[in-house]
Structure formats: C-alpha cells, structure tokens
Structure 1
Amino acid sequence: MNNYSYTDLPSRRERLFIALRVPTHIQNVLRMSAEQVQGKLDFRKWTDYRDYHITLQFLGDTLVSDIGLLRKTLRSVTVGTHPFELQLSGWGTFGLEEAPKVLWKGVEGEIDQLHLLQKRIVDATSSLGFKAELRPYSPHITMARKFLGHNPGNGDKGIFGLFPELFLGVNSWIVQDFVLYVTQSGQAPMYEVVDTFSFS
C-alpha cells in the first residue's frame, strides 16, 4: 500500500475499483500517441497518463471499514492465477459515433486469461455484496472523455483518421498483479493504489 491510510476513518466511504496498472513504458507509448492528436480532437477531459489502467471491476462508494475484508477476498483470487501477456491494439469509442462519450485504446494478447481473472474477481466480490455490471466485459484503456467538437472529416474514417497507426516503442507487457484503486477527485494523478495483489 502507498501513502493511503484508511484505519482511522471506518465510517467514511471511498470510491474504489479494481484494475490492471499500465506499466511505465506503455504509459509513455500512449502518452505520445495522445499528444499527437490532442490539438486536433476536442475532448473535454484527457486522461492523465499516470492514470492509464484497465478496469476489472468498479466497486463504487465503499465503507472504509469494509476494505480489510475486501483486501482479504481479493488476495484469495491470486491463488493459482498465472502471469499473462497483453499488448496494445486499435482505437475505439463508446457512445454515438459523431459524439463519442469515451475514446479508448484496446488490448489484445492472452485475452482469455484477462477475462478469466475479471470473472474470478467479480465472483469473489459478489459474496461481499458488490454487483457485476450487466453489460459484457470489454477491456480497454480510457484515453479521453466527452467529445465536444465536430467530426473532422478524414473520409470514412472520421476521428480515427487522425490517430497514428504505428506504435512508438514496445507495446506489450506481462501482467503479474492487479490493484485496488481509490479515486481522489481533483488530484493529478487521480487514482491512488490502496493495495497490490501479486499472482502466486
């Protein structure tokens, strides 16, 4: 655990989620890609490169007094979980094509292992009262939110015609753990690690 402390305020609620961290060399690749198009695409908020992650489960507002049991439950998920490889893939959006809510970067590689890990986490936390999302799990890295501008053209490609097709550097990594994040609104970076769960 980093500087985050929760033992003194058990009745407070914190906004938590479980995710895969994006390693530094992947952060840099994504940051360089984003910088190439930020001046051309009018999104309200671009993700701080230090906050890049792949969400596994959003937990929402959680009592601080419940974090201890949550950490114990998540540690049980690591038993028998093995490292796996992921790599960056293409760009995508959520929402209307002409006014997307989210711009994201996809991942590929050992996706079956990623889906299995996500399912094991959701199954484990369900015993604590956390609910799984109804929509199918779609792993991605959020790059920006809420498109405010107009479609810049580029023929049939729309906004995707502005993105670099080549990766700058190594675009794969080995996943060896997952983390529990707390959201610190108004700070940069906004997400702070509560605990790290290494595969055993």
Structure 2
Amino acid sequence: MAIRSFLAFDLPEDIKKVVSRTSEELTRRPLKVRWVDPGKIHLTIVFLGDVEEARLDQIGNVVDEICKGYRDFNMGLNGAGFFGTIKNPRVIWLGLKGDVDRMGALRNSLQKALGPFGIKEENRPFRPHITLGRFKQDAAGGEELRRIMDSYKNITSPMCVMSELVLYRSELRPSGPVYTVLRRYRFTGQL
C-alpha cells in the first residue's frame, strides 16, 4: 500500500505563536485565499509523494543517517510575501532567517540519497518558507495585495532551535489533510 508522505520540521512554540497570530490577522483581510489550519503548519523539506509502505523503513534509515550528520538548526521568521505575480498570486508565506543555507544543504543531501527510491528531486531553488495559504483561482492581486504584504514585510520571531526532522503521513480528506507522525530523526552531528 502506498503512503503519501513528506519530511518536515515541526515549528517551535515561539514561531507557532507568531504564525498563528499573523494567519489570524490575514484572514480578516480582503484576500481570496484558502488558509492553512494553523495547527497543521510545518516547514516541508522534501515531499516524498506516494511511497510503498514496505520501503518506508529503508527510506527512514537513510534519512536517519543523514540527520545524524547535522547539528540543530537555528531559525526565525523573517518577513512575508507571496509566490506568483502581483496579477496572479499563488501562495502566501512567511520567510525564514538563520541556518537557511545549511537547511538547503540538508534538503539536497536528502534528495540525492532518496533518488534511488524513486523520490523526484526538486529542480527549483530551495526557498524555505511557511505556507499560510493558497490563493483561489479567481484571486487577483493588485495594489491591495501589495499594501497588505508590505505591512508584514518586517515580521520576525525569536530565533529558535529545530532539533529534529519529522516523517509525516498525509491523508487527503474532504475536510482537509490529516498529518500523522511516522518517525522523528534527531540531529546529532557537526554539519
């Protein structure tokens, strides 16, 4: 049986508080967005897709070995923005600061090591972010969107330690996705 899964960082409480407050404020703005439930927000590193259950242990062992080479990550929020264009926005997000380059190196290491399992490598540059919502198809941006996003460009949070990577199962349901923790991987190395 195939399990839809991904690797992500859980967010520390200090970051969750800022994310939740910002998300709540933005839902009151005139934006045509499907908002992500703040309780389900995470920082995805690698989307694995549909993986055969029998291969998850092998994949988990590879992920564990890679994580053992890395030390904890220090991260904080750093501004807000959107992907897409001002006329055709797609995703509204919060940016990150801190060990962003090391996080990109972790992602690259994971993607290379998981290639033999059929996990496709992302060709886009890694831009770590926290997705707050996705614009609806008929959403138009324009100056109102620019003004709203400008008011959040200086948003920050305290720097926080992220000490583990999480393997999640993702079940898509009509009421929204349900995420289940399958395994946690601690960072214990020096990279």
TM-score above 0.5, yes or no: yes
Deviation by residue 1:6-26 (Cα, 9 ceiling, x = unmatched): xxxxxx111111111112231
| Unaligned runs of at least 5 residues, structure 1 | 1-11
Report how far residue 184 of structure 1 moved. 2.0
Shift of 1:77: 0.7
Picking from 150, 156, 167, the partner of 1:180 is 167
Q: Gaps (5+ residues) in structure 2?
A: none
Q: Would the aligned equivalents of 1:77 and 1:121 in 2 still touch at CA under 8 Å?
A: yes
Q: How many residues align?
A: 186
Q: Give the percent of matched residue pairs that are identical in Structure 1 and Structure 2.
A: 26
Find the counterpart in structure 2 of residue 114 from structure 1.
103
SS across alignment from 2:58 = helix
Alpha-carbon distance in structure 1 between the residues aligned to 2:153 and 2:68: 39
Assess if the C-alpha contact under 8 Å between 1:33 and 1:164 holds in 2. Answer: no
The letter for the 1-side match of 2:185 is F
Residue 128 to residue 110, structure 1, CA distance change in 2 (3 Å): same
Q: C-alpha deviations, 1:40-60, integer Å up to 9, x for none? A: 132331111122111111111
Shift of 1:129: 2.2
Distance in 1 between residues matched to 2:126 and 2:155, nearest whole Å? 27
Deviation at 1:164, TM superposition (A): 7.5
Cα distance in 2 between the residues matched to 1:125 and 1:93: 29
Instruction: Give the residue type in structure 1 aligned to 2:172.
Output: S
Assess if the C-alpha contact under 8 Å between 1:94 and 1:101 holds in 2.
Answer: yes
How far, CA to CA, are the matches of 2:34 and 2:42 in structure 1?
16
Cα distance in structure 1, aligned partners of 2:12 and 2:62? 25
Equivalent pair of 1:29/1:171 in contact (CA under 8 Å): no
Q: For residues 106-149 of structure 1, what are the alpha-carbon distances to aligned partners after superposition, in whole Å with 9 as ceiling and x for unaligned?
A: 00112121112111111221132212111111111000001454
Q: 1:23 to 1:189 in 2, by over 3 A?
A: farther
The one of 129, 133, 138 equivalent to 1:144 is 133
Counterpart of 2:182, as a letter, is V
Across the aligned residues of Structure 1 and Structure 2, the Cα RMSD in angstroms comes to 2.2
* Secondary structure in 1 matching 2:117: coil
